Structure 1
Amino acid sequence: MTAHVLIVRFSSIGDIVMTTPVIRAVKRQCNGGDVEVHFLTKRGYLPLLAANPCIDRLHAIERKVGEVLPQLRSIPFDWVVDLHNNPRSFQVRRGLGCPAQVVRKGTARRWLNIHLGLDVLPPGHMVDRFMATVAPLGIQNDGLGLDFFLRPEDEVDPELLPRRHREQGYVAWVIGGQHGGKLYPAKWVAQACRELGQPVVLLGGPEDRVRGAQIAAQGGEGVFDACGATSFNQAAALVRDAVCVVSNDTGLMHVAAAFKKRVVSLWGATVPAFGMSPYLPGEGSLVLEAQCPGRPYSKHGGKLPLRAPYTCWDGLEPAKVVAAVQGG
């Protein structure tokens, strides 16, 4: 008899991408592969999973679980895999009343590390914690890393890029980030672009247009600013086609790992020890951390040190980033 499994993760981009090893493993291993995999998230994140062949059905909410609970109750779920573990996901578990496996995120330990400086962070990557959640179901990590699938409409018109970028290849530099403490300083990005001396494509959302224009104006003729010019999935297509990806701690960093790109990840207010570093990225990938004392400053990078702006990036000057990119 076909099993039915509901995987729950509401946000955000990087976390949803990091659930993909669980999605794939459940689809291939649960009940001998005779399983329907359902996934519940917020509506705005549906494009991230729309092309994933391991998901049989997507469900989404705008704000409240009640929007989708009647629909979910009509499906005979055997298990809920809760990879969010928050009040909303608890409502899903309670509303369905079927057996559930719930991720242990280590939130309390992370708080103690950030606010008291205690070295009590949970070991391992967040993907490993997600996989541990389904281990009681007999699901094992297949070691294949992250997935990210694109639809035909996600492909980018090659003419979007300058001829030099198309012919020589380019470095994709992800300048965006949801929180200020994750944003590598614009003037340093521009300086690194000048010193690289090779084509660079700047990637970010509409909120990054001002920073992108500033960097492009100061970064030299090899810089092409694509911030706000593409959808997220189109930006992912540009990441896929890059020769190397430089990224803040943000969603496209995880997409780059899914495409097995060589990733140079930059860490300021947050730290990779949270378990959020690129998971099984391409060969030659590097994790570069600032050396400012007191890191990490917050869980998501929203809190900066009390000194001058950008001091959370001390010790990670442009020359180090350039050397890391060119070292590949």
Structure 2
Amino acid sequence: MFDGRGPGHECLARGSVIIGDAAAIGAGIGFATSRKPPVWLERFSAVASACRIYSASMNLSPHASLASEPVAAGPPLDWRRLRRIIVLRALYLGDMLCAVPALRAMRRAAPAARITLAGLPWACEFAARFRKYIDEFIEFPGFPGLSEQPCAADALSAFLTAVQQRKFDLAVQLHGSGITSNVAVALFGAARTTGYYAPGGYFPDPSMFLPYRAEGPEIRRNLLLVTATGAAPQGEHLELPLYREDWNRLEQLLAGTPARTEPYACLHAGAKWESRRWPAEKFAAVGQALAADGLHLVLTGSQSEEALVGRLSGLLGAPHTNLCGRTDLGTLGALVRRASLVVTNDTGMSHVAAATRTPSVVVVLGSDADRWRPLDVRRHRMVLAECPCRPSAAPRCPYGTPCADRVSPLTVYAAAQGLLAEMVNRRTAPRPPALPSRRSAGGRVCVG
């Protein structure tokens, strides 16, 4: 099966996947050979053959880079003629918000197209919120070699069969370097495909693919992909549409709390990986200093972070409101939009603050600060200590997170003080007008 550890054509042509007849290929990703091969395997065979022929013709070593084109370039892309576009980005909240400028450019370039997002199950809510850019959501069932979720063979077969039957004009691979995701997107069967490729990796159309560069902001990397194929950029700013029900739900949550009438700061101590979490004790120290300055404290987090946030709550010793596990995406966006300040780890909350233009201080531990930084450096401050192992992809730091030890609460508090002094008018900024209720929107389809 695909393991994602080597270039895409190597995964296919050098034994990570069985190359042969349809039944053998099906068995290689978990289908019983006694079952009838699904229709999409015809496409799989074609992709596998192309990868094998390309690898042989290039005489590539396992770590070679691409020196010439694997296939002839297709014609230039005419975005305005596109009618069916599918975008693969099966990732989490921060990653999805960083793709919004690219989605905005696609919509402007292809106003008549129906744009479908293939994403993780939670992103159905994201797609519904961004209905001006996304017309439809399809749940991506995972793919061998992609780590975001387990891949179920039956679900993958049904997904690929359904997607190929849609006959998309364009598939956009916005899911990383393409080592594995280019193979997945090639199986969508779209007339054209665009994305990034890793050195030595498979890609089907050299006129539509760009070499993946690890450096630079994620927002610009996503936007560059679509503008390089002819779509005009529509700004680099993030956004998070908020609707009337979001504000109504926030009013209910804050009823009877000081946050209903007083300025407040949001403290977000959670992150998906332990190696990205600044200690709760240090968050508490910053919170105590902000409370002494007159800010009420609001604690945020997902349901899976309730124990961590509960611990922070016990350490604070200052008035606060704990909303961990009680907000959906829209309510969280409204809460952050109305906040005076956000103090957060480098996680999705940082991008929510950027999307709502709320001043934030972001504590960076093992993540790639340049890649994930907010672009508005006046409104958002990153605090980090130099560490030779950054960026690290380790969920748990094998060295005991020295980068966390070197970031003091005093440094974070000083950054917050400076930011609040510059954004003094932010505390009394009026609530923005709510968008109409999402219930009034038509044409929304979420396919499980």
Aligned pairs for 1:235-250 within 5 A: 235-250=332-347
Match of 1:91 in 2: 184
Query: Which of the two has higher C-alpha Rg?
Result: 2
Give the aligned residue type for 1:59.
I
**What SS does the aligned partner of 2:86 have?**
strand
Match of 2:327 in 1: 230
Q: CA deviation at 1:104?
A: 4.7
Q: CA deviation at 1:220?
A: 2.7
* Unaligned 5+ runs, structure 1: 109-120
Q: CA deviation at 1:105?
A: 7.2
Q: 1:37 aligns with which of 115, 128, 141?
A: 115
**What SS does the aligned partner of 1:295 have?**
coil
Q: CA deviation at 1:189?
A: 0.8
Give the aligned residue type for 1:193.
G
Is 1:289 the counterpart of 2:384 in the alignment?
yes
Equivalent-residue separation in structure 2 for 1:60 and 1:296 (angstroms): 33
Q: 1:195 aligns with which of 289, 292, 303?
A: 289
Q: CA deviation at 1:234?
A: 2.5
Match of 1:261 in 2: 358
Aligned pairs for 1:1-328 within 5 A: 3-30=83-110, 33-52=111-130, 53-63=132-142, 64-84=155-175, 85=178, 87=180, 90-104=183-197, 122-155=214-247, 156-161=249-254, 162-197=256-291, 198-273=295-370, 275-280=371-376, 283-291=378-386, 293-296=387-390, 298-299=392-393, 302-306=395-399, 309-327=400-418, 328=420
CA contact (8 A) 1:268 1:312 kept: yes
Equivalent-residue separation in structure 2 for 1:17 and 1:187 (angstroms): 29
Equivalent-residue separation in structure 2 for 1:243 and 1:193 (angstroms): 13
CA deviation profile, 1:53-105 (whole Å, cap 9, x unmatched): 11111111344543322332233422111001353552232231421111357
Bigger Cα displacement from structure 2, 212-221 vs 246-255: 212-221
Give the aligned residue type for 1:277.
R
Equivalent-residue separation in structure 2 for 1:280 and 1:268 (angstroms): 20
Cα pair distance change 1:65/1:21, threshold 3 Å: farther
Give the aligned residue type for 1:146.
L
**What SS does the aligned partner of 1:168 have?**
coil
**What SS does the aligned partner of 2:185 have?**
helix
CA contact (8 A) 1:168 1:199 kept: yes
Q: CA deviation at 1:25?
A: 0.7
Give the aligned residue type for 2:373.
S
Q: CA deviation at 1:250?
A: 0.9
Match of 1:116 in 2: none
**What SS does the aligned partner of 1:171 have?**
strand
User: How many positions carry a matched residue from both structures?
Assistant: 309
Give the aligned residue type for 2:136.
R
Equivalent-residue separation in structure 1 for 2:282 and 2:127 (angstroms): 34
Cα pair distance change 1:245/1:105, threshold 3 Å: farther
Give the aligned residue type for 2:137.
L
Equivalent-residue separation in structure 2 for 1:2 and 1:91 (angstroms): 21
Give the aligned residue type for 2:263.
G
Give the aligned residue type for 2:104.
R
Q: CA deviation at 1:144?
A: 4.3
CA contact (8 A) 1:254 1:279 kept: no
CA deviation profile, 1:146-170 (whole Å, cap 9, x unmatched): 1222455544342423542221221
Equivalent-residue separation in structure 1 for 2:196 and 2:335 (angstroms): 32
Give the aligned residue type for 1:54.
Y
CA contact (8 A) 1:295 1:312 kept: no
**What SS does the aligned partner of 1:74 have?**
helix
Q: CA deviation at 1:179?
A: 0.5
**What SS does the aligned partner of 2:228 have?**
helix
Give aligned-pair identity as a percent: 23
Match of 2:15 in 1: none
Equivalent-residue separation in structure 1 for 2:380 and 2:137 (angstroms): 33
Please tell me the root mean square deviation across aligned C-alpha atoms, in Å.
Answer: 2.6
Equivalent-residue separation in structure 1 for 2:258 and 2:411 (angstroms): 25
Equivalent-residue separation in structure 2 for 1:129 and 1:318 (angstroms): 33
Bigger Cα displacement from structure 2, 5-14 vs 156-165: 156-165
Match of 2:71 in 1: none
Equivalent-residue separation in structure 1 for 2:326 and 2:332 (angstroms): 9
Equivalent-residue separation in structure 1 for 2:415 and 2:158 (angstroms): 47
CA contact (8 A) 1:65 1:92 kept: no
Equivalent-residue separation in structure 2 for 1:182 and 1:289 (angstroms): 12
CA contact (8 A) 1:177 1:248 kept: yes
CA contact (8 A) 1:201 1:225 kept: yes
Equivalent-residue separation in structure 1 for 2:357 and 2:312 (angstroms): 27
Cα pair distance change 1:277/1:267, threshold 3 Å: same
Equivalent-residue separation in structure 2 for 1:160 and 1:105 (angstroms): 46
CA deviation profile, 1:163-210 (whole Å, cap 9, x unmatched): 422212211121110001111100111111111122111111122212
Cα pair distance change 1:141/1:263, threshold 3 Å: farther
Q: CA deviation at 1:137?
A: 2.5
